Chain A
Amino acid sequence: METRMKLRPLPPLREAIASRRVRLRRAAVALLLLGCLTQVAGAADPPPGVIETPMRDPWVPPSQRQPSTSPPTSGADLRAQVEQKLQAAFDAADVNHTGTLTRAQAKAAGLGFIASHFDDIDTRRSGLIRFDDVRSFLEGRAARARSHN
């Protein structure tokens, strides 16, 4: 087993490797760390891990044990919950409350799924999509997936 250590190159640094100054700096850091390594080798055994509480998984504090009184959802009720979830993410990105999103708005809100499928969702080629468009796109994909299975 090899025990050599080095600083993991960070991606921004990796990208900037053309810069000679950066290369020099990295060499300096590596040297500094090499100096440390000789000391690490002689370090005492590390302190053992700590267990602050007994293993409790799953567990909920007694004051929070308030289970739902409704039976678990399935079928159409579950599909409605899924739709609510997806619509909530859509609506949160629709900061101007227009009922529509542009690709840029979707991207800015972190809706990478919608942004990356935007052209397939935007069947009217208007540059603006409604949640109904997302739903139609998902239904089409699901139907295609079923026919593949």
Chain B
Amino acid sequence: MALKIVFAAMLALALAGCGGGGADSPQAPPATNLDSAVYSSAADASLPNAVELASVTKHQLVVDGATLNYTAIAGHLTASNPATGAAEASFFYVAYTLDGAAAAQRPVTFFYNGGPGSATVWLHLGSFGPMRLVTGDPSTTAPSPFPLVANAQSLLDVTDMVFVDAVGTGYSEAIAPNTNISFWGVDVDGQVFRDFVMRYVAANHRDASPKYLFGESYGTTRSAVLANLLETAGVELTGVVLQSSILNYNVNCGVVSSNCMGDLPSYSAVGAWYGLDNPNPPPAQLPAFVDQARAFARDQYGPAVAQFLSNRAPPSTALLTGLVNITGESLGNWQARFNMDPGFFQRTLIPGTLIGLYDARVSAPVGSALASEGDPSSTFINASFATGITSYLASLGYTNGSRYVLLGNANARWTYHHDALSLPDVIPDLAAAMTQNPQLRVLSVNGYHDIVTPFYQTEQDLARLGANPNVQTRFYVGGHMTYLDNGSQVLEKADLKQFYTSTAQDR
């Protein structure tokens, strides 16, 4: 019976996909799409039903001199409530699987961006997939749209990859009676992602495969929640890659008015990039210089900010002088905004210039088009990723007439409440996942010049887990999307390959 329903739905979709006119329609059928379903990012939107339709194409990629034959699968899978079996949401995903690999030894990694409200387009087309948009980051001179090229740094040599869009982004949407907003919350989002992962694993017979999560930004919040839910559900993970983390919203001083101590070493790295620090370190000495900034933040700036926030105690002149030297930000600006948030820093570091939040190495004159949206580093890349994604999906045989929403409005309607807090702290979730699975390995990757999820704050957050050899941290020259930088992408790929190789040996 179930088979008949699936068949009927597929047939209906196939017919609708052919224009809906039927075989005996006299007119030439209009250009049509593989998937004729209409997807929406609206909070109250839902699909009447969903079909697990996908396009399957064969490709080749050369990585490290080896030719890899792989299959790209682009389409939808349905996440269902594990207790009731009721359909929850139709997830759009693109999977890349190495041909001829034994599933039990071949890792599979689930990638997602964050927002919340962002489709997984930045990781998909910018990082370690088989094809990559070359942005030239941090330069803004490359003509757009950026070229889409074979990605010599793809992770395809070590893992299969599944890039999946959150509900209400890309072509992913809730299934009635749910609506998109049914899954717009820290907990419900984690649950529906769990149900997608379990569906993917079952549909593709990947129970025995080593499984990894790779989230970015809010995607790291999701990864902590999801890792715990998957372990509880009996889906054992091998590794979690945290790309530019926000693990505790309560201490991110770009989001709330908390102590900005965690941002100071990032400001130091940015000052060094622009040659403003005193003394200004040569690039090769950036890690050692940043170490000094960590110590300054921990021992001097952080405690002084805590005093300032509790009783407005003014900082000493010596401390202010130290801040000027170690960041390149002016004395007047440190006096005006002693607990300095990244939004202030990006506007004031260089008079007349707006520097990026996501990649503070990117800059644009105030009043220019690149500065007009408040962050030149994202404005520079947005349009190329928007045109790039749908034409790329068409090249994989997946076409749809709906709008593919890269950045939707979910974050304005999101339920951030988690556990007993109004804003999520997911370190307990990560700890719960690692308690259920003591072999679980975590790799935290960070950009020195990212001032939205500052690396030193992430180090502080992960330190709460206690000394644990299963948690490793890496740093790269670059912003939030470290992989956009051609040099850092090579270094990050090498570290990721080492992470996958070493975790595979542990199994």
A: residues with CB less than 8 A from B are: 1-8, 10-13, 16, 22, 25, 28-29, 32-33, 35-37, 39-40, 42-61, 64-68, 72-75, 78-79, 81-82, 85-86, 89, 108-113, 115-116, 138, 141-142, 144-146, 149
B29 to chain A: which residues have CB within 8 Å?
A: 39
Bound state CA distance, A60 and B429, in angstroms?
20
Count of interface residues, chain B, beta-carbon cutoff 8 Å: 115
A-B contact pairs, 27 of them (CB 8 A): A11-B203, A32-B15, A36-B34, A39-B19, A39-B29, A47-B404, A49-B387, A49-B405, A50-B406, A53-B117, A54-B374, A55-B382, A58-B114, A58-B255, A59-B411, A60-B249, A60-B411, A61-B412, A65-B256, A67-B251, A72-B250, A85-B429, A110-B232, A111-B233, A113-B231, A144-B438, A145-B438
B: residues with CB less than 8 A from A are: 2-3, 6-7, 10-11, 14-15, 17-19, 29, 31-34, 41, 52-60, 73, 75, 82-83, 113-119, 121, 202-205, 217-218, 221, 228, 231-235, 246, 248-252, 254-258, 358, 373-375, 378, 382, 385-387, 389-391, 393-395, 397, 399-401, 403-409, 411-412, 414, 416, 419, 421-423, 425, 427-429, 431-432, 435-436, 438-439, 452-453, 461, 463-466, 469-470
B389 adjacent to A49 (CB under 8 Å): yes
A39 adjacent to B32 (CB under 8 Å): yes
A72 adjacent to B425 (CB under 8 Å): yes
B466 adjacent to A75 (CB under 8 Å): yes
A60 adjacent to B256 (CB under 8 Å): yes
Known: A32-B11, A49-B121, A68-B422. A73 touches B427 (CB 8 A): yes
A51 adjacent to B202 (CB under 8 Å): no
The listed residue (A5, A59, A68) touching B34 by CB distance below 8 A is: A5
B14 to chain A: which residues have CB within 8 Å?
A: 29, 32-33, 36
A52 adjacent to B248 (CB under 8 Å): no
Bound state CA distance, A138 and B2, in angstroms?
40
Closest residue to B408 on the A side, CB-wise? A52
A78 to chain B: which residues have CB within 8 Å?
A: 427-428, 431, 464-465
B2 to chain A: which residues have CB within 8 Å?
A: 12
For the A-B complex with A1-B60, A11-B204 known, give 9 more contacts whose Cβ atoms are closer than 8 Å.
A6-B56, A40-B31, A43-B32, A58-B218, A67-B256, A85-B428, A109-B83, A115-B234, A144-B438
Known: A53-B408, A55-B378, A64-B422. A7 touches B53 (CB 8 A): yes
Question: In angstroms, how far is the closest chain A Cβ from the Cβ of B455?
Answer: 14
A111 to chain B: which residues have CB within 8 Å?
A: 232-234
Bound state CA distance, A130 and B268, in angstroms?
52
A46 adjacent to B399 (CB under 8 Å): yes
The listed residue (A33, A36, A55, A108) touching B83 by CB distance below 8 A is: A108
